[in-house]
Chain A
Amino acid sequence: TQLLEQSPQFLSIQEGENLTVYCNSSSVFSSLQWYRQEPGEGPVLLVTVVTGGEVKKLKRLTFQFGDARKDSSLHITAAQPGDTGLYLCAGDGAQKLVFGQGTRLTINP
């Protein structure tokens, strides 16, 4: 069974601070995806990383895929209250997605 350990599960910081969310596994994934989910809605894809060592940027969000394709990180610079939400990493393995536990992020004004 492929498992993804996501940390931290809860994070509350002040506006303007930086943060990093980690997603780790002992399994290799063909790709890894990051989603953001609002209450009462389905997850919305932020990014897909495919190549080991890959780095992708989406405005203030930076995503990295580990060289061995077993781990990933999401770094947010100068967090804003609008970044508040549930962030989920998901690994694409055996033609299905395996989700991490999620990180509930709160940015306080």
Chain B
Amino acid sequence: GAVVSQHPSWVICKSGTSVKIECRSLDFQATTMFWYRQFPKQSLMLMATSNEGSKATYEQGVEKDKFLINHASLTLSTLTVTSAHPEDSSFYICSASGGGIGMGYTFGSGTRLTVV
């Protein structure tokens, strides 16, 4: 089946630094990738949708200059949290779609970001 690899699985960084999270589709081409944020004991909140070769579409309230998304190829999307602060600490999850409604979504294993 379709596999999405997310890396790193956890990261601790100092306040003010930037962190990059990678999301790779291993055995299929992901025309669309999604980035979610999940706070403890809460559901997944969609941050942005990225399509290969174009700018990401951000959900309302998500700062695009803080959460930089790049989807340069059909198998890789990256999320960079710039100038991280403790309130950015969260669980970030990506998912990938092979394209089109009903094609299904495959989720990565998530990245636990802790900003100290």
Q: Contacts A96-B49, A98-B46, A104-B41 given: A43-B107 contact, CB under 8 Å? A: yes
Shortest distance from the beta carbon of A91 to any chain B beta carbon, whole Å: 11
Binds A, one of B14-22, B70-78, B82-90, B97-105: B97-105
Asked if B104 contacts A45 (CB within 8 A), the reply is yes
- B44 → chain A closest CB, angstroms: 5
CA distance A40 to B49 in the complex (A): 22
CA distance A100 to B108 in the complex (A): 19
Contact yes or no, B110 A41, CB < 8 A: yes
Does B6 count as interface, using CB distance less than 8 angstroms? yes
Secondary structure at chain A's binding surface: helix, strand, loop or mixed?
Answer: strand
Which residues of the other chain, A, contact B109 by a CB distance below 8 angstroms?
41-42
**Interface 0/1 of A26-41, CB less than 8 Å to B:** 0000110101000011
Number of A interface residues, CB 8 Å? 24
**Chain A residues with Cβ under 8 A from B105's Cβ?**
33, 45, 97
Q: Is the Cβ of B102 less than 8 Å from the Cβ of A30? A: yes
Q: What band does the interface of chain B fall in when counting residues whose beta carbon is under 8 Å from A?
A: 20 to 34
Is B64 engaged at the interface, CB distance under 8 Å to the other chain? no
Cα distance A90–B36 when bound, in Å?
13
Q: Contact: B44 with A88, CB < 8 Å?
A: yes
**Which chain A residues in 1-59 approach chain B with CB under 8 Å?**
6, 30-31, 33, 35, 40-45, 48, 50
A30/B44 contact (C-beta < 8 A), A42-B6, A97-B34 known: no
A-B contact pairs, 27 of them (CB 8 A): A6-B43, A30-B101, A30-B102, A31-B102, A35-B107, A40-B112, A41-B110, A42-B4, A42-B93, A42-B108, A43-B44, A43-B107, A45-B106, A48-B102, A88-B43, A88-B44, A92-B102, A95-B49, A95-B100, A96-B46, A97-B95, A99-B45, A99-B46, A100-B43, A101-B42, A101-B43, A102-B42
Which of A's residues lie within 8 Å of B, judged by CB?
A: 6, 30-31, 33, 35, 40-45, 48, 50, 88, 92, 95-102, 104
